[in-house]
Structure 1
């Protein structure tokens, strides 16, 4: 076994220091998620026409970003991990946009 010391953790990046989030931060995130869940329920009772799914997806996307940043600790990670998560989120947005464009365009022939 090698006794080489790697101070920059290049050989073992999984041994890097971890950021500890305080219980107060978790409480704030929890309350934020509860508030936006209430907003989601409230928005379901409001008739916005074609904007209902868009509003629901916007609220759900915001809640997903909060969960990703704090519960998955992405906020405190390296730029490479942030870029990887952003690429996944961008792919999600592209797929939702294509789905919504298909959903909206289905009624064109029924006018």
Structure 2
């Protein structure tokens, strides 16, 4: 088995483990922590996919910087959208 195949199998196993955690978290009575736990697991899955399948681990620091900047920009847009949505009820 080549090194690439072993890496793909490890990532696959990691993604399946995170999937099992997602399903298990759905059945736990987490209350208000349900959404943050699910989003944390989803972020871990996205990180695995970006790191290995988009091959960020083999790229230069500049490519990693731009990938991180894109993620930060996405987070800014999500936070601004959520704050706008949350503040709409205050004007009534």
TM-score computed with the length of structure 2 as normaliser:
0.78
Change in 2 beyond 3 A, CA 1:76/1:36 = same
- Cα separation, 1, equivalents of 2:77 and 2:6: 35
Tell me, which stretches of 5 or more residues in structure 1 are unaligned?
1-20
Task: Return the alpha-carbon distance in structure 1 between the equivalents of residues 81 and 32 of structure 2.
Answer: 14
SS in 1 for 2:23: helix
Report how many residues are paired: 87
Query: Which protein shows a greater Rg?
Result: 1
TM-score (norm 1): 0.66
Of the three residues 65, 74, 80, the one matched with 1:92 is 74
- For structure 2, the 5+ residue unaligned runs are none
Distance 2:78 2:44 in 1: 14
**Alignment-derived partner of residue 48 in structure 1:** 30
Q: Deviations over 1:3-32 (max 9, x none)?
A: xxxxxxxxxxxxxxxxxx610001000000
| CA deviation vs aligned residue, 1:31-64 (integer Å, no higher than 9, x gap) | 0000000000100111211111111000000110
Q: Which has the higher contact order (CA 8 A, sep 6+)?
A: 2
Q: CA RMSD in A?
A: 2.3
Q: Which residue of 2 aligns with 1:30?
A: 12
